[in-house]
Structure 1
Amino acid sequence: MSESAGCVHDVPLAWQSYSRGSISGTGIYGFLALGFLGLVLVAAAHGMEWEAVSALLATLGFVPEIVMWSRSTLADRWVSDATRVRIVAKALVIYRDLRVTRLDILSNSLLAAGAAVFAIGFFNGRIDYYVLHSPMDKIYLSAFMVVGVGCLYRAIRIGLHDRPLIVVTPEGFVVPEKRAEYSWRDVVRCKAVPMKGDRRGGAWMSVGSTFKTAEFRVDESGLGAPMTLALLDFYRRHPKLRDELTDVRVLRRIQDGSFSVEVAE
């Protein structure tokens, strides 16, 4: 199934803003990128090739993070891609936005490479930062190696396992990352959480149940935040149509973008 131009929904007013968390995330990674770029220039000016390469890779690794944080609240960047949903074991599986996944892999791969260059240069006696001639050298080296291994592990895990973001069934839906499961009989509303002033990054939606209200992030959904909200709210309101979630009918509905209209049951 190709990407559907019909999978476009109006962005709720609550999401037509910028979250404080996304702005902060963009600023933090921007600051780190500028800081490491400064190290690149200093190292290059002093002929320290290993340091320059390590810092350059780290700088490039922060750029995808800046892009991910900045796009997280930009509604025009949320594209509904019908190829990111599948029917698996009679359930609709919604995967993460492919572009976000690729940016995440790229960022972690570059940061891991930068840490690897630093570690190799240190063991080869090529790294010449003054801090590495102090008693703190092992701490700095250990920190770089831990970061490198962590980033490499994350890049491999994301690349090999296309983990579901949301799994929707006739009985309810599951958000694996939060290890949360919601039964349709308990869900009384689905709505967008206002971004303005939100300390978290991205677009979040809330699910009001009989007992409590839960929130989870949807801007990284392969269907885009508006379509994901529309889909969940549609099947909340139309219990007799939930059997569509087990087969190709829901995929056709996604391709048509027909979630915002009332239908006869």
Structure 2
Amino acid sequence: MSHDVEPFPALHAWRTIPWRGAVTGILIFLLFTVFFGVQGVFNLARSEWYGAVSMLALSAGWGFDVLALFRAQVLRRMSRAPMRGVTLQGRRLQVRLDEKFVVLDLVSAVLVVTGMLMFAVGVPRRLMDFPFAGEGARLIYPAAALIVAIYYARETIARSRNFGESVRLSEAGISTWSLGREPIRWPASGVRPIETRGDRNIGTRVSIGPTENNRSVRVDNLSIGAPAMLWLLDFYARHPELREELSDGRSIARLRSGAVVEMADRYA
């Protein structure tokens, strides 16, 4: 049975809006969503079905990007942690990615790849109309669309793997798919939140290294939310004598009770 644990104090910096990151990204993706949506409707009105599908796929893809960014902002501020994504795997505590975030991210990538590939094929073959698509642009646009499609295709493959992705904590250290198979040792100096752009690709992170340029864990895409993950990392970084709890149910019980928060104003 799933329960929400006691409130976790959220950082003031995480409660504010990251204008340089998430808001900028949301505005850009909204612009893309509206622009390509209008083009899709224009193609529909002219019964140009190929162009309509391509444009509407792109519009929907970037629309899902906006939703993913909004979901990350919810997780960034979430003071209660759903426990359904917290399990024991072997002798490690596992915190899974947020399912809604992963689905939104993956659907976005698939739709953008589909739309861009159709665009790259359709413009030079005159299967669709697009503003500013003169004779010269009919060569430039497909090349640009193909580059974007390849980028998003790589993202699609990476995100499809994320369905099983998690942050794993053990006595030996912290491990994620992005950090490699071997766990990163617990930092002797403790963990700390670091300033990032807050966008989809970088996100809100917690440093687990001596400098901000060292290793970090993204926390605004995890099922328990960013604040709970910060406090979980903080507690076991400060208490090496209790890390054996990570191999059994005591760590889950401690997280469920909110006992990982020792000083509520530590990150105020």
Whether these two folds match at TM > 0.5 is: yes
Helix, strand or coil at the partner of 2:116: helix
CA distance in structure 2 between the aligned counterparts of 1:100 and 1:183, rounded to whole angstroms: 28
CA positional deviation for 1:8: 3.6
Task: Give the match for residue 3 of structure 2.
Answer: 4
Tell me: CA distance 1:18–1:38, structure 2 relative to 1, closer, same or farther (3 Å).
same
Tell me: CA distance 1:43–1:66, structure 2 relative to 1, closer, same or farther (3 Å).
same
| Structure 2 spans left out of the alignment, 5+ residues | 264-268
Task: Give the match for residue 189 of structure 2.
Answer: 188
Residue identity matched to 2:36 = F
CA positional deviation for 1:131: 5.7
Helix, strand or coil at the partner of 2:189: strand
Helix, strand or coil at the partner of 2:190: strand
Matched, 1:173 2:179: no
Equivalent pair of 1:23/1:70 in contact (CA under 8 Å): no
Equivalent pair of 1:15/1:193 in contact (CA under 8 Å): no
Task: Give the match for residue 260 of structure 2.
Answer: 259
| Structure 1 spans left out of the alignment, 5+ residues | none
CA positional deviation for 1:9: 1.1
Larger mean CA deviation between 54-63 and 112-121 belongs to 112-121
Task: Give the match for residue 25 of structure 1.
Answer: 25
Tell me: CA distance 1:149–1:191, structure 2 relative to 1, closer, same or farther (3 Å).
closer
CA distance in structure 2 between the aligned counterparts of 1:261 and 1:223, rounded to whole angstroms: 18
Q: Normalised by the size of structure 1, how large is the TM-score?
A: 0.80
C-alpha RMSD of matched pairs (Å):
3.0
Tell me: CA distance 1:77–1:34, structure 2 relative to 1, closer, same or farther (3 Å).
farther
CA positional deviation for 1:123: 7.7
Write the deviation string for residues 97-133 of structure 1: whole angstroms up to 9, x where unpaired. 1111000111112112223443564587522447656
Write the deviation string for residues 198-218 of structure 1: whole angstroms up to 9, x where unpaired. 544343333464xx3445431
Equivalent pair of 1:79/1:222 in contact (CA under 8 Å): no
Q: Normalised by the size of structure 2, how large is the TM-score?
A: 0.79
CA distance in structure 2 between the aligned counterparts of 1:129 and 1:9, rounded to whole angstroms: 50
Tell me: CA distance 1:135–1:79, structure 2 relative to 1, closer, same or farther (3 Å).
farther
CA positional deviation for 1:11: 1.0
Helix, strand or coil at the partner of 1:205: strand
Residue identity matched to 1:5 = D
Task: Give me the identity figure in percent.
Answer: 24
Equivalent pair of 2:5/2:82 in contact (CA under 8 Å): no
CA distance in structure 2 between the aligned counterparts of 1:77 and 1:23, rounded to whole angstroms: 18
Task: Give the match for residue 103 of structure 2.
Answer: 102
Helix, strand or coil at the partner of 1:188: coil
Write the deviation string for residues 142-162 of structure 1: whole angstroms up to 9, x where unpaired. 333343354345334433553
Task: Give the match for residue 218 of structure 1.
Answer: 219
For residues 50-199 of structure 1, the aligned pairs below 5 Å read 50-74=50-74, 75-76=76-77, 80-119=81-120, 121=122, 125-129=126-130, 134-178=135-179, 182-184=184-186, 186-193=187-194, 199=197
CA positional deviation for 1:91: 2.0
CA positional deviation for 1:258: 2.6
